Amino acid sequence: MDNSLSTRGHLQRRASYQTRKGRCSALNCCMFLSLNRLRFKETCSSAQWRFLVVNPAPAPASLRIPTFDDVRAARARISGAAHRTPVLTSRTADARAGAAIFFKAENLQRAGAFKFRGAYNAIAALDAFSRKNGVVAFSSGNHAQALAYAARLQGVSATVVMPRDAPEIKVAATKGYGAEIVFYDRYTEDRAEISQRLAAERGAALIPPYDHPDVIAGQGTAALELIEDVGEIDLLVVPLGGGGLLAGSALSARALLPACTIVGVEPEAGNDGQQSLRKGEVVQIPVPKSIADGAIVTHVGAHNFAILKNKVDDIVTVTDAQLVETMRFFAERMKIIVEPTGCLAAAGVLHGAIACGGARVGILLSGGNIDLKTFSALLGGR
């Protein structure tokens, strides 16, 4: 497809959506890099050199941006490992939103969240050399559990950097799947820096929770399944934290349903994605505070934003109070447990942040990992 036509179509879709809402030479450079690469190798330990080979630090211009072909390849890799989660409906939800809603229940996925798809795909895509020394990740919980479980299933050791205030249920599950956990303070320490150091020391492959092409491709399989199961939809609404699920979903939806409107939903306290989309560049914010622990990030990923800026129509926000009310709706009316982050997209629709009257709407419920003590406390505080 002509890129200019693709971009023009995207801009037209976004404008239409907003209207409805009312709102030196290359050769010398290569020679220099090759010479210095050989010199640098002599100064590294074998583990550090393996880390640099497995985990090159790409310049923005050299990012490997996944495509829908990568999503289809991911589907083949995770087949038989990831669940094909059900699509749920509710006449009460339909009446409340004035639309036909289809909930993709990734809260029923292995390890309790969509993250299993991307983690399993990223590990499966590694070669034998890269898998030998294990994998390292950083996560507030769901990617931690998913990576630990996916690594165990594939016979790969895993180390996960987690915040000290991560939900107890997520820490316990990550340990239970056999991963080593290294704790950090999310407000004073840099989890990416800690993870990179550990991976370099061990020669391990670093698999971040969202800013990784194979992770994005794996996450895109959820929307692919949703569209295959329910057919054409007019609107796809997806939770947004770092952008792995939204970017992957956008790859699938744009390829299969070019006219579909795609909207991300993030916590009101952490609207870095919304700011980034409207500014046209990645915006970094201070660490936000929200009950949506899976969406507590300071900025979207570079790989992710390269997709979001071209394929996503809008990003809206919801409050913590709206997330709690949406959790209650799922528990009382649909008899399922959905964690706060998993409720983001549904809250956006059920509380009117997204106009969808008369539309066929696909909503991704991203996870259900919340301990019963916290769940009861949130729903009990009417």
Of residues 272, 293, 313, 339, which has the active-site annotation? Answer: 272
335 part of the active site: no
Burial pattern 259-289, b for ≥16 Cβ within 10 A else e, equals ebbbbbbbbbbbbbbbbbbeeeebbeeeebe
Integer Cα distance of 246 and 59 in angstroms = 23
Of residues 130, 139, 140, 276, which has the active-site annotation? Answer: 140
| Pairing label, strands 100-105, 87-88 | antiparallel
Spatial CB neighbours of 3, under 8 Å, sequence gap ≥ 6: none
266 part of the active site: yes
Of residues 118, 248, 270, 342, which has the active-site annotation? Answer: 270
Instruction: State the DSSP code for 287.
Output: P
211 part of the active site: no
Of residues 214, 266, 314, 339, which has the active-site annotation? Answer: 266
Q: Strand 100-105's sheet: what is its strand order?
A: 87-88, 100-105, 360-365, 235-239, 261-267, 314-318
Integer Cα distance of 152 and 158 in angstroms = 8
Q: What is the CA radius of gyration of the chain?
A: 20
22 part of the active site: no
Integer Cα distance of 134 and 219 in angstroms = 21
Of residues 104, 366, 367, 368, which has the active-site annotation? Answer: 366
Of residues 70, 112, 115, 368, which has the active-site annotation? Answer: 115
> Helical H runs in 257-317?
272-279, 302-311
268 part of the active site: no
Q: Where are the beta strands (DSSP E) in 119-273?
A: 135-138, 158-163, 180-184, 205-206, 235-239, 261-267
272 part of the active site: yes
Active site residues: 115, 140, 266, 270, 272, 366
